[in-house]
Amino acid sequence: MQNPPPVQTTPSGVMAKSSTGLDENVAALLSYVATWISGLVFFVIEKDSRLVRFHAMQSLILSVVFFVGMIALWIAWVVIALIAGQISGVLGTLVGIVVFLIILVFGLACFVGWIMGMIKAFQGQYFKLPVIGNFAEKFSAK
């Protein structure tokens, strides 16, 4: 895999400005703050900075995956727990606990990805989340 270009700095070591007027790292960080809303805003308004566009798209995709995944998992939890509960009360409880733990792990993984994205964005680094990062890189390059 080819490494993305390094973050551009001025000769004094200050971060380059994005087309929003903010430093690249600040704009990239802000694209994560309000989840999909800020990701979409920065992706649409940013014209110059590849770093900001990448992090904005990654934030947007992560938010969509989180929201859609949580809705799907909650629906699956209810349906599976109802079906298993009809077979046996104990089985319904066990299945409900297992699915709840899956939801918890998924939510925690998304939260850690969100925090890591913000940290790496503020550091001015490209940090690709598994699977999501590849899509973000592809869509932000256009």
Report the SS3 class of residue 116.
helix
Task: Look at residues 83, 81, 82 and name the one whose alpha carbon lies nearest to residue 95.
Answer: 81
58 three-state secondary structure: helix
Q: Pick 1 or 126 by higher pLDDT.
A: 126
- What's the pLDDT tens digit per position in 34-44? 989 999 999 99
Convert the pLDDT of each residue in 56-115 to its tens digit.
Answer: 999 999 999 999 999 999 998 888 888 887 888 788 788 888 989 999 999 999 999 999
pLDDT at position 13 is 54
pLDDT of the residue at 47 = 87
Residue 132 scores a pLDDT above 80 = yes
- The structure's pTM equals 0.81
Longest dimension (CA), the chain: 70
The Cα–Cα gap between 39 and 12 comes to 29
Rounded CA-CA distance 3/17 in Å is 22
27 contacts 102 by C-beta, under 8 angstroms? no
pLDDT given for residue 90 in this prediction: 82
pLDDT grade, residue 12 (50/70/90)?
Answer: very low
**pLDDT of 10 above 50:** no
What average pLDDT score do residues 50-60 get? 94
Q: At what angle do helices 24-33 and 89-122 cross, to 10 degrees?
A: 160
Considering the chain, what is the average pLDDT of its residues? 86
